[in-house]
């Protein structure tokens, strides 16, 4: 026996619970971010800054007035 009409309120309520439960499951199963990415980025940038500046000066010298800085 089939229903003649769909109970959209019940369907929406169940789908809302399903989405919320799945989202919570994903959040609980994923590992926490333990590394500060901004800090590690700036540390790596500090490590490479001398070479980047030298490269920038070299390109600026080759290009002359073509570069806007």
Picking from 44, 41, 69, the residue whose alpha carbon sits closest to that of residue 57 is 69
Query: Tens of pLDDT along 20-56?
Result: 888 888 888 888 888 889 999 999 999 999 999 999 8
More confident residue, 7 or 40: 40
Residue 30 lies in a domain: yes
Instruction: Report the number of distinct structural domains present in the chain.
Output: 1
Whole-prediction pTM: 0.40
Residue 41 lies in a domain: yes
Domain range enclosing 56: 8-66
Four-CA torsion 44, 45, 49, 52, nearest 10 degrees: 100
Q: What confidence score (pLDDT) does residue 1 get?
A: 63
Q: What confidence score (pLDDT) does residue 69 get?
A: 56
- Our measurement of the distance from residue 60's CA atom to the centroid of its chain's CA atoms, rounded to an integer in Å, reads 33
């Amino acid at each position: 026996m089939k229903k003649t009409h769909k109970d959209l309120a019940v369907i929406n309520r169940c789908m809302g619970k399903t989405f919320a439960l799945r989202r919570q499951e994903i959040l609980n199963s994923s590992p926490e971010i333990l590394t500060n990415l901004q800090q590690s980025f700036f540390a790596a940038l500090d490590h490479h800054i001398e070479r980047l500046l030298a490269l920038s000066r070299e390109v600026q010298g080759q290009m002359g007035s073509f570069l806007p800085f």
